[in-house]
């Protein structure tokens, strides 16, 4: 029974596809392509921003580690093994 319903649904769908205006299909395709391009551009911009922030954070961590090591040296504390 499920197969019969699926076949009937496919037939209705294929009839709907047959009646589509080619101009509308092309227009819809262009809209979808433009939307996907915008999404890709935004994703790339966000990825670049995230990578930049991670790089900045890495630099700050390196500076912090150096400052801590300098303070430990000034205080006469030996650095523990990492």
Query: Domain coordinates of the chain in residue numbers?
Result: 22-75
Structural contact between residues 37 and 29, judged by C-beta atoms closer than 8 angstroms: no
pLDDT at 81: 53
Structural contact between residues 72 and 79, judged by C-beta atoms closer than 8 angstroms: yes
Q: Which residues of 10-19 are buried (b: 16+ CB within 10 A; e: fewer)?
A: eeeeeeeeee
Percent of the residues in the chain that have a pLDDT greater than 70, as a whole number = 71
pLDDT at 23: 83
Whether residue 73 has pLDDT greater than 80: yes
Within 10 angstroms of residue 72's Cβ, the number of other Cβ atoms is: 13
pLDDT tens for each residue of 44-53: 999 999 999 9
């Amino acid at each position: 029974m499920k197969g019969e319903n699926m076949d009937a649904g496919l037939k209705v769908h294929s009839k709907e596809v047959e009646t589509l205006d080619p101009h509308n299909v092309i227009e819809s395709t262009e809209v979808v392509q433009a939307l996907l391009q915008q999404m890709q551009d935004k994703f790339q911009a966000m990825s670049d921003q995230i990578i930049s922030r991670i790089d900045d954070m890495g630099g700050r961590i390196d500076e912090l580690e150096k400052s801590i090591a300098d303070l430990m040296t000034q205080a006469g504390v030996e650095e523990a093994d990492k």
